[in-house]
A and B are shown apart, each in its own frame.
Chain A
Amino acid sequence: MDTVNTMTPWREAFDAFIANDEAAVMGATARADAFARFEAHGLPTRRHEYWKYTPVRDLLPGQEILVRDGLDTFADVETYQIVFVDGRIDISRSDRTALAALVEIAGPDGAPWMDGVFNALQNRPIPGAMFQVERPFANLNLAMFTDGLAIRIPDGMTLDKPIHLRYEGVVPSHLRLEMLVGKGASVTVLESGAGALTTGAEIVLEEGASVDHLRSQTEVAGKQFTALYATVGADASLKSFTLCADAALIRNETMVTMAGDNGSGSIAAGVMGMDDTLIDNTVYVSHEAEHCESRQVIKSVLDGKAKSVFQGKIFVKKGAQKTDGYQISQAVLLSDGAEFNAKPELEIYADDVICSHGSTTGALDEEAKFYLRSRGCTEREAEALLVAAFIDEAILEISDETLQDRMRDTTDRWMSARAGR
């Protein structure tokens, strides 16, 4: 009963989208399949294993987009910017042409290699436990995305500036990134803005490729659901960092497959919450090749009644010897009402591996705080210094120092906003 009711508006929205939106032509079959999976699953409730801490009760297709402060973390960074407003590219504010001169961008009809990406990630047989977990919002995104970027970085190319996907507007839209990074190529991808209800990204790293992915969700005041699927080839390296603050509900799902030997993957997040916010980072790293290294580093600072959730799994397939898997999630609670829920999981079917995980929740170090205050720092300043140090352990996972600093600026701003209360 329940499922039928909450799904009805979504079914109507999907049917209308298919009937009226020109974007629906692309990947029509994949969209229908994906929607069917979304519909069958229903909106996540506490009864769904991976949504226990993050129920999504009353999400509607017309869910309002709420924006906070509008300060773009990456505003000062020189990038190839691609701006989406209300779910469509704003060509006049985008560097699409400049980018297209350097790399391959697929048109509305896609490109031959793009099907490869699609198929590699959406329809491949997913091994082990991975397939048991439905990703409803990844399905919704695939079913209803209106625009996005499908891009191939040629072998050996190092793109001179990051690509910045900027989400603006008030329409609850669904946007998509399909990216194939060729052998030995390297690229940095930035995402920011509140103007997407869901984002879906699929990134394939071929041999020796390197991708830095940074996402700022500090402007999201309402809800945002993201799904990132990455396949890391041999000797390739993926680093993904997300900064989240004060959203009504954010759920980030990151699924990384270590597919080739000697690859490395790092998934990090900094979470800052005041008031009634709920931020969930769910990470699944699947080791399917030898000698790969993966890291998950999640740091949360929570005040008021803020909640942060981390669900992180390291899955090691049979034969994925010499895997080095590491996972740490830590939270600092600045108030009695704040809450951190961690669900670390290891599932290992190879015998010659090193995997470790740890999780801690606590207050700031009182001794350190007193020391700082005894030198004149106010309580809020002392907390800000200690919080910055704490979050920095996640920020240091970012390889580029300028981008590290952009993230620090944003965390500082958050702490001063808190201090000003």
Chain B
Amino acid sequence: MLKIDNLHCQLEEEPDTKILKGVSLEVPAGEVHAIMGPNGSGKSTLSYVLSGRDGYEVTGGSASIDGEDLLDMDPEERAAAGLFLAFQYPVEIPGVGNMIFLRTAMNAQRKARGEEEISAPDFLKLVRAKAKELNISPEMMKRPVNVGFSGGEKKRNEILQMALLEPKMCILDETDSGLDVDAMKLVAGGVNAMRDAGRGFLVITHYQRLLDHIKPDVVHIMSAGRIIETGGPDLALKVENEGYADLIGAA
């Protein structure tokens, strides 16, 4: 599904700042992979480079989704190809209503894939149902995108978008941070409901807690722009108990 090979990147404005220094990993369809790693190790940068944010220059390596070269596409083409990033810091967009945003995005993706647009009633029904599952009030849906949302509400809104857009490859960047215990369960429930043989997940997190709810198949440890260790779910437990020092020392 998602294949990243020896990916290197630096900041466009400061070429001396190398952030990714050879990231390789592969998430096959049907699997959930977690990435853990110290602050500043490049986890969010990886997610941005994959989703096509400006400001980073890829200097080597490749990334593809179902064999299609991601790095060659515009952000919206990546979305239409099935990539989704739940942002660590979702952006507030004053003046742009949540509903019109969601509908524009859904229909744009459908159009890009040569599918029919969703009708207004079907769209409303779908949004209402999914929002309810995530305990997002209709009043929140009427507001501009993320404006005035609490930290946890923003994260739930990301998961709502994911549920509506039904991407093939979902990257979740610290979706658990800022969530209370109940919200965490809601979000994990939302993710688990979407797990299926055709879909991959890359879950970036600092805490074992989320992984108790979303059981990963594989755990990667990232440090200083590289994956330094890959293992099973118990690797996350080890990090939780012992920290990163030994792993980084060994690498």
- The answer to whether A376 touches B101, judged by C-beta atoms less than 8 angstroms apart, is no
- Would you call the interface of chain A mostly helix, strand, loop, or mixed? helix
Complex A-B, nearest 7 residue pairs according to Cβ-Cβ distance, in ascending order = A389-B95, A376-B109, A376-B79, A375-B105, A373-B75, A371-B91, A376-B108
Give min CB distance, A291 to chain B, whole Å.
31
User: A381 contacts the other chain (Cβ, under 8 Å)?
Assistant: yes
Q: Hey, which chain A residues are within 8 Å of B144, CB to CB?
A: 389
Interface string of A353-391 (1 = CB under 8 A from B): 000000000000111101111111111011001101110
Give min CB distance, B238 to chain A, whole Å.
33
24 sampled A-B residue pairs with Cβ under 8 A: A367-B91, A368-B93, A370-B53, A370-B91, A372-B101, A372-B105, A373-B52, A373-B74, A373-B75, A373-B76, A374-B76, A375-B109, A376-B80, A377-B101, A377-B105, A377-B108, A381-B104, A381-B108, A385-B93, A385-B96, A385-B100, A385-B101, A385-B104, A386-B96
- The answer to whether B74 touches A375, judged by C-beta atoms less than 8 angstroms apart, is no
User: A393 contacts the other chain (Cβ, under 8 Å)?
Assistant: yes
The CA of A389 and the CA of B108, in the complex, are separated in Å by: 19
- The answer to whether A371 touches B93, judged by C-beta atoms less than 8 angstroms apart, is yes
- The answer to whether B95 touches A375, judged by C-beta atoms less than 8 angstroms apart, is no
Give min CB distance, A304 to chain B, whole Å.
22
Interface residues on B, range: 20 to 34
- The answer to whether B74 touches A368, judged by C-beta atoms less than 8 angstroms apart, is no
CB closest chain-A residue, reference B51: A374
Give min CB distance, B204 to chain A, whole Å.
16
- The answer to whether B54 touches A386, judged by C-beta atoms less than 8 angstroms apart, is no
- The answer to whether A372 touches B93, judged by C-beta atoms less than 8 angstroms apart, is yes
* CB contacts between A and B, total, < 8 Å: 80
With most chain B CB atoms within 10 A of its CB, the pick from A367, A372, A389 is A372
The CA of A371 and the CA of B93, in the complex, are separated in Å by: 9
Number of interface residues of A (CB under 8 A): 23
User: A392 contacts the other chain (Cβ, under 8 Å)?
Assistant: yes
User: B127 contacts the other chain (Cβ, under 8 Å)?
Assistant: no
The CA of A372 and the CA of B104, in the complex, are separated in Å by: 9
Further pairs besides A373-B74, A376-B108, A389-B96: 8, Cβ < 8 Å? A370-B54, A373-B75, A374-B52, A382-B76, A385-B93, A386-B96, A389-B94, A390-B95
With most chain B CB atoms within 10 A of its CB, the pick from A376, A382, A385, A393 is A376
Q: Hey, which chain B residues are within 8 Å of A381, CB to CB?
A: 104, 108
Q: Hey, which chain B residues are within 8 Å of A386, CB to CB?
A: 93, 95-96
Interface string of B68-90 (1 = CB under 8 A from A): 00000011101110001101001
- The answer to whether A392 touches B95, judged by C-beta atoms less than 8 angstroms apart, is yes
The CA of A390 and the CA of B144, in the complex, are separated in Å by: 13
Residues of A within 8 A of B (CB): 365-368, 370-379, 381-382, 385-386, 388-390, 392-393
The CA of A367 and the CA of B96, in the complex, are separated in Å by: 14
Interface residues of B in 135-149 (CB under 8 A from A): 144-145
Q: Hey, which chain A residues are within 8 Å of B161, CB to CB?
A: 375
Give min CB distance, B146 to chain A, whole Å.
9
Q: Hey, which chain B residues are within 8 Å of A379, CB to CB?
A: 74, 76
User: B106 contacts the other chain (Cβ, under 8 Å)?
Assistant: yes
The CA of A159 and the CA of B94, in the complex, are separated in Å by: 36
Give min CB distance, A340 to chain B, whole Å.
19
User: B112 contacts the other chain (Cβ, under 8 Å)?
Assistant: yes
User: B165 contacts the other chain (Cβ, under 8 Å)?
Assistant: yes
CB closest chain-A residue, reference B164: A375
Q: Hey, which chain A residues are within 8 Å of B74, CB to CB?
A: 373, 379
Q: Hey, which chain B residues are within 8 Å of A385, CB to CB?
A: 93, 96, 100-101, 104
Q: Hey, which chain A residues are within 8 Å of B52, CB to CB?
A: 370, 373-374
Give min CB distance, A394 to chain B, whole Å.
11
The CA of A371 and the CA of B47, in the complex, are separated in Å by: 13
